[in-house]
């Protein structure tokens, strides 16, 4: 697995690289059209409009070697945002920063979608409620004038990988207009549906792709980095779309009575909080007031996984975060996520992520 923590030599290479363009204007939080225009302008290119290229001719690509970096102002905190324009339909941003205070990022309206993979840190709603806590992933679809937004939690080292995508990118995946899974299908509807953010299952493949995208800034030759990043970004997108199609949350939930569905979600929320010492299925069923057989069947039907698989998923996600933070030993993490024996924990982790916790911790 590629390291997500670059060496000092790696940091110096990118800091001194001739391909680095330092932004002379704020980029994070710009409207969709302004964001694209700013990247093209900073790379010395004119804004690409839909009618720029004659019919039948491929769209021009930006220079393959440029990365635009936006540094945080000293009073905001420390760190930066890196931006890579890969094609006219796809760009990638990587946030590697620690804000002093909660920092609001506006997601202005337009017609686009974003896949966010938060490797570390927290994203918050305006009321302070946690939207994502790394490592987690989210799909944000905007098909209207308002897109929404989020705050990056202050005081926390934040590492966030984001794919910024136009609806045309779906055609490259072989998805005809109107046949993309929920909620991507809203991009092809005439009436704007505003902004919708949906947490997606962070599979090992999704997590690795995001980590490799982050590490590529320090480990991949600039001349080939755009091709490498595009391949990883498309891999990440394919896994996201596949997960949406398999999950089909609204279709699955439609056959369950609303009262039972509410109880199933209550059970899920309790497990999300108490994954280290979860109740037994009979105990959980009593807590939410539901027959345990019905609960097990309804849970699997709604979330496309068993109750046990969901507990394992939450344990592994929490483990990955603690390994990234490097504050605890492997044995300490095992006890914290609910394993009595570290050896059993290590075996479960290796089956889930494909490497041992110690190998992960050394990267």
Which CATH number do you get for residue 266?
Answer: 1.10.10.60
Contact 309, 352 (CB under 8 A): no
Q: What is the pLDDT of residue 328?
A: 86
Which pLDDT score is estimated for 189? 65
Q: Are 112 and 203 members of one domain?
A: yes
- Helix and strand counts by DSSP (H, E) for the chain: 13, 10
pLDDT value for 6: 44
pLDDT at 190: 55
Boundary-marking domain end, from 194, 223, 247 = 247
Same domain? For 228 and 268 the reply is no
Chosen domain end from 189, 223, 247: 247
- Do 288 and 295 touch, CB atoms closer than 8 A? yes
Instruction: Write down the pLDDT at residue 303.
Output: 79
Q: How far apart are CA 273 and CA 348, in angstroms?
A: 20
Query: Tell me: the pLDDT tens digits for 156-213?
Result: 999 999 999 998 898 888 887 677 887 887 776 655 556 788 888 888 788 889 989 9
Same-domain pairing of 230 and 256: no
Q: Is residue 264 part of a domain?
A: yes
- Cβ proximity of 3 and 361 under 8 Å: no
165 & 298 share domain? no
Q: Are residues 284 and 218 in the same domain?
A: no
- Give the pLDDT confidence score for residue 37 in this predicted structure: 84
Same domain? 238 vs 255: no
Final residue of a structural domain among 201, 216, 247: 247
| Same domain as 323, residue 222 | no
Asked if residue 1 is part of any domain, the answer here is no
Could you list the residue range(s) of the whole structural domain that residue 168 is in?
Answer: 8-247
Cα separation, 217 vs 215, in Å, equals 5
Contact of 168 with 357, CB cutoff 8 Å: no
Residue 193 is predicted with a pLDDT of: 53
**The whole model's pTM is what?**
0.69
Do 262 and 204 sit in the same domain of this protein? no
Q: Has residue 193 been placed in a domain?
A: yes
From first to last of its 363 residues, the chain has per-residue pLDDT tens of 333 344 444 444 444 455 788 888 888 888 778 888 888 888 764 333 334 444 445 445 444 457 899 999 999 999 999 999 999 899 999 999 999 999 999 887 778 899 999 998 999 988 888 888 888 899 988 877 666 789 999 999 999 999 999 988 988 888 876 778 878 877 766 555 567 888 888 887 888 899 899 999 888 888 899 999 999 999 999 988 888 876 554 445 557 787 888 888 889 888 988 999 999 999 999 999 999 999 999 998 887 789 999 999 889 888 887 887 667 889 999 999 999 999 999 999 988 887 888 877 665
Cβ atoms of 99 and 72 closer than 8 Å: yes
pLDDT at res. 154 = 95
User: Which among 211, 198, 244 has a CA at the least distance from the CA of 321?
Assistant: 211
Q: Are 214 and 325 found together in one domain?
A: no
Q: Are residues 165 and 62 in the same domain?
A: yes
Number of domains the chain is built from: 2
């Amino acid at each position: 697995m590629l390291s997500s923590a670059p060496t000092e030599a790696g940091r110096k290479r990118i800091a001194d690289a001739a391909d680095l363009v330092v932004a002379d204007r704020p980029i994070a939080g710009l409207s969709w059209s302004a964001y694209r225009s700013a990247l093209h302008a900073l790379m010395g290119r004119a804004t690409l409009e839909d009618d720029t290229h004659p019919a039948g001719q491929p769209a021009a690509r930006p220079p393959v070697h440029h990365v635009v970096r936006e540094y945080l102002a000293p009073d905001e905190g420390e760190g930066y945002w890196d931006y890579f324009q890969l094609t006219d339909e796809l760009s990638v941003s990587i946030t590697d920063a620690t804000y002093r205070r909660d920092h609001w990022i506006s997601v202005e309206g337009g017609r686009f979608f974003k896949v966010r993979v938060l490797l570390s840190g927290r994203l918050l709603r305006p009321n302070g409620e946690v939207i994502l806590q790394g490592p987690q992933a989210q799909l944000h679809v905007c098909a209207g004038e308002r897109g929404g937004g989020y705050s990056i939690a202050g005081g926390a080292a934040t590492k966030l990988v984001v794919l910024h995508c136009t609806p045309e990118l779906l055609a490259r995946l072989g998805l005809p207009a109107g046949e993309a899974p929920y909620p991507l299908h809203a991009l092809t509807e005439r009436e704007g549906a505003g902004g919708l953010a949906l947490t997606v299952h962070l599979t090992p493949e999704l997590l690795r792709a995001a980590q490799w995208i982050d590490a590529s800034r320090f480990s991949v030759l600039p001349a080939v980095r755009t091709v490498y990043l595009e391949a990883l970004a498309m891999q990440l997108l394919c896994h996201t779309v596949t997960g949406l199609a398999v999950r089909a949350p609204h279709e699955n939930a439609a056959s369950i009575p609303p009262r039972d569905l509410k109880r199933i979600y209550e059970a899920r929320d309790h497990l999300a909080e108490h994954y280290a010492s979860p109740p037994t299925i009979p105990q959980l069923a009593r807590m939410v007031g539901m027959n345990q057989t019905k609960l097990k069947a309804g849970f699997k039907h709604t979330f496309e996984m068993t109750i046990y698989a969901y507990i394992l998923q939450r344990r592994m996600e929490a483990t990955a975060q603690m390994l990234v933070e490097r504050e605890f030993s492997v044995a300490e993490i095992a006890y914290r996520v609910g394993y009595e024996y570290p050896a059993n924990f290590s075996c479960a982790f290796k089956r889930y992520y494909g490497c041992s916790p110690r190998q992960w911790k050394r990267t």
